[in-house]
Amino acid sequence: MGSHSSAVARIPDADDIRRETGFSQASLLRLYHRFRSLDRNKKGYLSRADLQQIGALAVNPLGDRIIDSFFPDGSLQVDFPGFVRVLAHFRPINEEDTRTRDPKEPEPLNSRMNKLRFAFQLYDQDRDGKISQQEMLQVLRLMVGVQVTEEQLESIADRTVQEADEDGDGAVSFLEFTKSLEKMNIEQKMSIRILK
Amino acid sequence: MSRRGAPGPYLGLLLALLVALGELPQVRCSEQEPGGAHGSNQGFQVVTFKWDHVQDPFIIALWILVASLAKIAENCSPPPALQCHGARGPSRASHTLDPAWSVTTSERTHGGLVQGQAAIPSASASTAGTWPAAISFPGVAVRVTQAGFHLSHKVTNVVPESALLIVLGLVLGGIVWAANHTASFTLTPTVFFFYLLPPIVLDAGYFMPNRLFFGNLGTILLYAVIGTVWNAATTGLSLYGVFLSGLMGDLDIGLLDFLLFGSLIAAVDPVAVLAVFEEVHVNEVLFIIVFGESLLNDAVTVVLYNVFESFVTLGGDKVTGVDCVKGIVSFFVVSLGGTLVGVMFAFLLSLVTRFTKHVRIIEPGFVFVISYLSYLTSEMLSLSAILAITFCGICCQKYVKANISEQSSTTVRYTMKMLASGAETIIFMFLGISAVNPCIWRWNTAFVLLTLVFISVYRAIGVVLQTWVLNRYRMVQLEAIDQVVMSYGGLRGAVAFALVVLLDEKKVKEKNLFVSTTIIVIYFTVIFQGLTIKPLVQWLKVKRSEHRDPKLNEKLHGRAFDHILSAIEDISGQIGHNYLRDKWSNFDRKFLSKILMRRSAQKSRDRILNVFHELNLKDAISYVAEGERRGSLAFIRSPSTDNVVNVDFNTPRPSTVEASVSYLLRESASAVCLDMQSLEQRRRSIRDSEDMVTHHTLQQYLYKPRQEYKHLYSRHELTPEDDEKQDKEIFHRTMRKRLESFKSAKLGFNQNKKAAKLYKRERAQKRRNSSIPNGKLPMDSPSHNFTIQEKDLELSDPEEAPDYGAEEMSGGIEFLANVTRNETTDSPSGDTGSDVPLTGRSSPREVPPAAEKHSRVPPHAPPTPAPVPPPPPPIAPPAPPTTQSPASDREPGAGPASEAGPASEAGLALEAGPERRRLPGAHARSAAARRVHSRRSFQRPRARRRPALLKLSSLPPSYHAPPHTLEQEETPL
């Protein structure tokens, strides 16, 4: 354990990051190693290409969207805090944390709302706060096999939007998005056990 | 219908068997008479009845048939009538074959087994000869039985197949007993260990999710070794303690006997565990731990068993400390030796398959023979045979799969699954049958009950203790639920039974007590725990209890979340062991693969690796191009896709029609005041059916997240091909998108130009090389196309760049350009097909202009594609999805685009209605081409959706037409 803490010390701003993300020391250290190994030419940040080299992402229909989510606002690089911040959305929710949490503090990154918001922005590509039918269709296209025809996709996208759309503007706002998924166990579904 | 039909065949089958068996005694008599007569009086006989001659193989085949039939019935409930026939057929057959049956039933077990025993030590050739026979002997029965049970999924959903099979075995055993009054068929250790177990274990090894397995190897080993020793020791000692207290009454058992019993009952059985775990969907880590444990602990069990057995033989007082040490040493020797033998044979196997290029037909044979030899060899050396064959499978899989041809690997996969699943069925059924034998039953309530209690309790304790230790080191913690499932999933099975039957009655006085207790334990664990584990798992995951159909949103987003999660997992890194894994893969790449893999296999592997790991434009391009050229992308040519597409033609139609109707209704409802209630109802019913279609589509075609399809091993299903297909599909989409954005973002135009040109040249080269029957290459088109592309890239806004819209746009323009300009026709199917989904952008879709088609019908075109499935929803006019006008901003592109107008309509009509024959040339479309379009449709531009956004002014009027014609085309069908 001693080696851990000394190794953690090497991570810049480790304490700040931990406070923000809630990762344990061990996880943070592991992620740091991961970050370093992804960073192929030791630039100190990750570029899109670094993430794209992960083979499994190439066969993940949403892989590129996930990659994009690491680079908000068109930036071309992500540093370690940014990297961890994105991953922190997927930290499992610890019940003790939520009980002891100071209500004045901002919601932790791994709260249900933030998990949903992360998913929402994967859909909402133009950042207008709404998932339009087109945006839904794009995601659908990514996720459905080639056998499905465009008509079907469009009809599915239509129906999906309609189902969630409550105010009749033909798009799904974040509120509607959360409502349509209120029965789903997001806390569990959007958490990765290894990210403690 | 099916439910009612289900018992039918069963009853029929059973009745027939009953009748058959009832007749046995008489038949036997009658059989003997002619046999006697034969020898004495006849000279030459035209036809002789030589039952003895074929007896063994015949019965074996029969058993296999029976078992297979059972499997059929279990799996397909829908057409009951068919089932009845199916089931009755064989039963009738068995009926007619009665004479044979009757004679053999009694002799069979002994004769066959003795024979088996004799054959085993002998060389591989003879084993190979007897092997199928011995397997199939019980096999027939099993097939039938399984068939019986697959009858109704309703039943198998609740009751695990293994439990059903045991029950059926009991029934069959009862019938045999009633007819014969001897226990004719029992599961003997020889048959089990030499013929039934190897295929199962080999299958498990060969399909082992290696990464997962080695990632959790430490945990697995701990459970397998320490856990098993713990179970054996505690169970044995506790039973001995209770025995000393006098609760069991008077038994002739010593401490060593108890320990012996404990050791044989300790091991979790891979067969039983898999059979149940496959039906309970547990997470992959848990699965691999329990599965791996059950595989590896057999070695421990066998060693413990051997040690204690020799101790028992020695006699309790003569066991010295040295013997104990020897026992421990022998454990390591046996397990490591077995592993080593397995690895060596795996090496040999990989090496052999490297040189089978010219004898493809026997490749699958090597896989089986060599793996089986590894089993026999280690058995010969008294090492752990199970470990040997497991590791043989685990180690060779990578190289063998790369070396042998596709067909061979399919053969291997299917044969392996067939053997394993057959063997498993046989085992369970015979566990049932074997129990019907009063000779083996010796009841001692205290002993039986206490054994049950002890094995459950100690397993639970062991699991909790070990997990507690493990969790301090593991990345993925094993949670309380996992521990419960693990302790509860400790099913005992045939290994224990075979071992207990192996006991020597002279040495172990209370053998029968052990046997009956073992049977009870097996039944209890397999049937009771197997039955309850699923509800238990569901109950523990409380959230799942609320059962309702998920809404569309939930379904879609839920799946999206799965994908997101697995992507994040990949980004955040795999679980531990990275250093070792890297080392190993280096070693593998540098040495092992070089030795064990064909050169071609190495190359293709490297290429994929390169694309994956060092995404570099040129590689990716050539990879994609190469894949297309070879047509090796599964979804481009696989027949299954065709089927699916055909099916699709039917499904979308109702949905689109309904959709429009419901729109109409919805609209009118708000506008006009009609009978609202009936309208509401109608609407609802329409909506319902629409919903169904939509849900169904989503259910079927949404890409599966990794966890659901990879990693998990299933004995009864083979799906990797689908996975690969999905992977390839997604991979190509991704690569295409990346190339797009790569070009537009990273490289300037010059490089872009270069890259695209390079690509073009490459393609041109390939096209030239590939067989194009009739077609000149569009020598001028590359540059032309290219300019257009460039523009497209420029135009598409960055957000959209990776999207299909942009892709399709360029592809479409190109398509148009090509229609007008070049004289080439597409090369036949392979190449044509490959163009489409992947490189729509840069691969010219050369469709012969209609005018040309008049005069020249491509040779491959069928005369008239008369009763074809309706064409896939055809391609809408290629039009840029961006709001910017395609034509006005684009000087070079404007020409072709507008030029393309008329021709495009022709082309579209061609696509739209092959069977309508709008154009004279329409019939010229080959089936292949049609297939292409069906695929193409998935990436149709969104132009049709928002035509208003286009500046249509620059386009010829004919541009407007296609959508409507298309729409018309679609609806009536």
B645 touches chain A (CB under 8 A): yes
Q: Which segments of chain B have a pLDDT < 70?
A: 1-43, 60-61, 63-158, 182-185, 278-282, 316, 475-476, 541-550, 573-582, 600-702, 704-728, 738-973
Residue B816: name the closest of B954, B959, B719, B607 by CA: B959
Distance of CA B823 to CAs B247, B783, B812, B920, Å?
Answer: 95, 16, 18, 18
Q: How far is CA B379 from CA B327, B345, B687, in A?
A: 18, 14, 64
DSSP assignments along B488-536, one per residue = HT----HHHHHHHHHS-TTTSTTHHHHHHHHHHHHHIIIIIIHHHHHHH
Cα B123 from Cα B155, distance rounded (Å): 44
**B584 interfacial to chain A (CB closer than 8 Å):** no
Q: What is the mean pLDDT of residues A147-170?
A: 81
Q: State the SS3 of chain A.
A: CHHHHHHHHHCCCHHHHHHHHCCCHHHHHHHHHHHHHHCCCCCCCEEHHHHHCCHHHHCCCCHHHHHHHCCHHHCCEECHHHHHHHHHCCCCCCHHHHHHCCCCCCCCCCCHHHHHHHHHHHHCCCCCCEEEHHHHHHHHHHHECCCCCHHHHHHHHHHHHHHHCCCCCCEEEHHHHHHHCCCCCHHHHCCCCCCC
Provide the shortest C-alpha distance from residue A48 to chain B (in Å): 10
| Domain A14-88 shares a fold with domain A108-191 | yes
What does the pLDDT read at residue B688? 61
Residue A144, strand partner residues: B702
What residues of B are in contact with residue A41 (Cβ under 8 Å)? none
Give the residue carrying structure tokens 């989409």.
Answer: B733
Classify the complex by whether its ipTM is higher than 0.95, answering yes or no. Answer: no
The bridge status of strand A46-47 relative to strand A77-78 is: antiparallel
pLDDT of B606 = 47
Question: Closest to A53 (Cβ–Cβ): which among B552, B564, B615?
Answer: B615
**Chain A positions in Cβ-Cβ contact with residue B572 (cut-off 8 Å):** 31, 34, 87, 90, 192, 194-195
Other beta carbons within 10 Å of B117:
14
- Two tokens, residue B372: 């089986």
Higher pLDDT pick, B74 / A120: A120
Q: Cβ of A59 and B734 within 8 Å?
A: yes
Cα–Cα distances in angstroms (integers) from residue B560 to residues A143, A162, B416, B425, B564, in the given order: 8, 18, 35, 38, 6
3-state class percentages of chain B: helix first, strand second, coil last, to nearest 5: 75, 0, 25
Q: Is the pLDDT of residue A175 over 80?
A: yes
Instruction: Report how far residue B188's alpha carbon sits from residue B186's, in angstroms, rounded to the nearest whole number.
Output: 6
More confident of the two residues A196 and B849: A196
Measured CA to CA, the distance from residue B58 to residue B514 in angstroms comes to 34
Backbone angles phi, psi at B719, to 5 degrees: -125, 0
Check: CB of residue A187 under 8 Å from CB of residue A112. Answer: yes
Q: Which residues of B touch A46 (CB under 8 A)?
A: none
**The pTM is what?**
0.56
For residue B702, give the DSSP letter: B
Contact A55 B612 (CB under 8 A): yes
Out of B565, B701, B872, whose CB is closest to A145? B701
For B271-280, letters b (16+ CB in 10 Å) and e give bbbbbbbbbb
Query: Which residues are B9's β-sheet partners?
Result: none
CB contact residues (below 8 A), chain B span 885-924, against chain A: none
Token pair 């059985």 is found at B269
Q: What is the pLDDT of residues B162-199, one digit of tens each?
A: 788 888 888 888 887 887 776 666 778 888 888 888 89
B444 conformational bin, left if phi > 0, alpha if psi -120 to 50, beta if neither: beta
Alpha-carbon gap, residue B199 to B715, rounded angstroms: 11
CATH for the stretch A14-88 = 1.10.238.10
The CA-CA-CA angle for residues B202, B208, B214, to 5°, reads 125
Amino acid at B690: E
Q: Does B573 touch chain A (CB under 8 A)?
A: yes
Which CATH superfamily is A108-191 part of? EF-hand (1.10.238.10)
> What pLDDT score was predicted for residue A103?
61
Using the Cβ of B614 and the Cβ atoms of chain A, whether some distance falls under 8 Å is answered with: yes
Distance CA(B821)–CA(A32), nearest Å, equals 56
**More confidently predicted of A81 and B154:** A81
Task: Answer whether B265's CB lies under 8 Å from B521's CB.
Answer: yes
Could you give the 3-state DSSP secondary structure of residue B829? helix
Compare CB distances from B567 to A38, A66, A195 and report the shortest one's residue.
A66
Gap between the Cα atoms of B822 and B828, Å rounded = 16
Question: What pLDDT is recorded for position B465?
Answer: 92
- Location of structure tokens 């054959």: B119
Which of B556, B611, B971 is the mutation pick for testing A, counting most A CBs within 10 A? Answer: B556
* Stronger pLDDT, A191 or B788, i.e. the higher one: A191
Residues of chain B in contact with residue A125, where contact means CB-CB under 8 angstroms, are: 799
pLDDT of A96 reads 59
Q: Given CB atoms, is A1 within the 8 Å cutoff of chain B?
A: no
Instruction: Say whether residue B654 is in contact with chain A using an 8 A CB cutoff.
Output: no
pLDDT digits (tens, 9 = 90+) for A87-109: 888 887 766 555 565 666 667 77
User: What are the two backbone dihedrals, phi and then psi, of residue B740, each rounded to the nearest 5 degrees?
Assistant: -55, -60
How close is the nearest chain B Cα to the Cα of A149, in Å? 5
- Angle between the B676-701 and B552-572 helix axes, to the nearest 10 degrees? 20
* Residue B418 structure tokens: 């067939």
What is d(CA B340, CA B352) in angstroms, rounded to the nearest whole number? 18
Q: Report d(CA B10, CA A56) in Å as an integer.
A: 47
Chain A contact present for B731, CB below 8 A: yes
The DSSP 8-state label assigned to residue B592 in this structure reads I
Q: How far is B656 from A148, CA to CA, in rounded Å?
A: 13
DSSP state of B681: H
B938 touches chain A (CB under 8 A): yes
Interface of B with A in 685-714 (CB under 8 A): 690-691, 694, 697-698, 701-703, 706
User: Quick one: pLDDT at residue B461?
Assistant: 92
Say whether B565 and A139 touch across the interface (CB within 8 A).
no
What is the average pLDDT value for chain A, to the nearest integer? Answer: 78
- CA A66 to chain B, closest CA, distance in angstroms equals 7
CB contact under 8 A, A146 and B614: no
The dihedral of CA A129, A130, A135, A137: what is its sign?
A: positive
Chain B: residue whose CA lies nearest to A61: B730
- CA–CA separation, B98 vs B101, rounded Å? 5
- Chain-centre distance for alpha carbon A122: 8
Which chain A residue has its CA at the smallest distance from B640's CA?
A147
CA distance B830 to B628: 8
What would the two tokens of residue B765 be?
Answer: 């080269």
The shortest CB-CB distance from B804 to any of A64, A141, A143 is to A141
Dihedral sign for Cα atoms in the order A74, A77, A79, A85: positive
Domain ranges within chain A, ordered by starting residue: 14-88, 108-191
Sign of CA dihedral B597, B601, B604, B609: negative
- Helix (H), strand (E), coil (C) string for B247-302: CCCCCCCCHHHHHHHHHHHHCCCHHHHHHHHCCCCCCHHHHHHHHHHHHHHHHHHH
Cβ distance of A60 and B873 shorter than 8 Å: no
